[in-house]
Amino acid sequence: MSEPLNDAALDQLFRTARTYNGYLDRAVSVDQLESIWDLMKMGPTSANALPARLIWCTSTAAKEKLAACAGGANPPKILSAPVSVIIAMDLRFHDHLPDLFPHTDAKSWFDGNDALIQATAFRNSSLQGAYFIMAARALGLDTGPMSGFSPEAVEAAFFPDEPSLKVNFISTLGYGDPNTIFERSPRPEFGRFNRVF
C-alpha cells in the first residue's frame, strides 16, 4: 500500500516548484531525458493510448528553429534553455493500440471517428504533458511550459511529412535559475473552485 509522500517531496513536486523563465548554465543529458520518459509513460491515458510524441530540442540549431516559431518573450527562453521540448500528439495513436492495449480491439473504437480521435489525443497528450512536468520535477529538473507560438509553424518546421502530428504545447527544461521567477500568483482555497456533493 502506498504511503503519503513526505513534506520535502511534496514541496519539490508542488508547493515550492515553479515555472522558470531561465536556467543555470548546467547541462541536461540524454540519459535524463530518457529517465523523464520512463517515468511519464507510466501515467494513465485512455486505453493506454499514449498519444504524446516528444521532440527534445537539445542542439542550438533545433532550438533556433523552434524559437523562430514562437513570439513575445518566448524565443529567448527557448534559446537559452539547455533543452526545449515540443509536446505533440499523434492523431494516428490508435494504430498502436493492438500493441499497447492488446486485450481487446480498441483500435476499432477510433477508426473513422475523427471527433473521438481528436478529443482523446488532445486530452491524453495534455495529461502526458503534465506527467512530463512532474517527472522532471521528481528528477530534480525544472520546466517552463508555454503557449505563445504558431502551431502551424512548429508542425511545418519539425514534422512536415507527418500530418498526423499536431503540437499541443512546448516547454523549456533544465535547472531553473531562481532569479528568473516572479512572485507566485494567487492559489485559491478549496471552497472557491470546488464542490462536494
- DSSP characters over 70-134: B-TTHHHHHHHSSEEEEEEEETTGGGGHHHHSTTTTTHHHHTT-HHHHHHHHHHHHHHHHHHHHH
Give the pLDDT confidence score for residue 98 in this predicted structure.
98
Query: Contact at 8 Å (CB) between 138 and 59?
Result: no
Sheet with 165-174, edge to edge strand ranges = 52-57, 83-90, 165-174, 142-146
Cell readout for 165 is 502530428
Residues of the chain with confidence (pLDDT) below 50:
none
Give the pLDDT confidence score for residue 58 in this predicted structure.
98
Ranges of each domain in the chain = 28-171
> 168-195: per-residue pLDDT in tens?
999 999 999 999 999 999 999 999 999 9
- For residues 123 and 154, what is the distance between their CA atoms, to the nearest angstrom? 20
- For residues 159 and 171, what is the distance between their CA atoms, to the nearest angstrom? 17
Give the pLDDT confidence score for residue 1 in this predicted structure.
73
- Any idea which fold 28-171 has? NADH Oxidase (3.40.109)
* Cβ neighbours around 97 below 10 Å, total: 20
Cell readout for 16 is 515550492
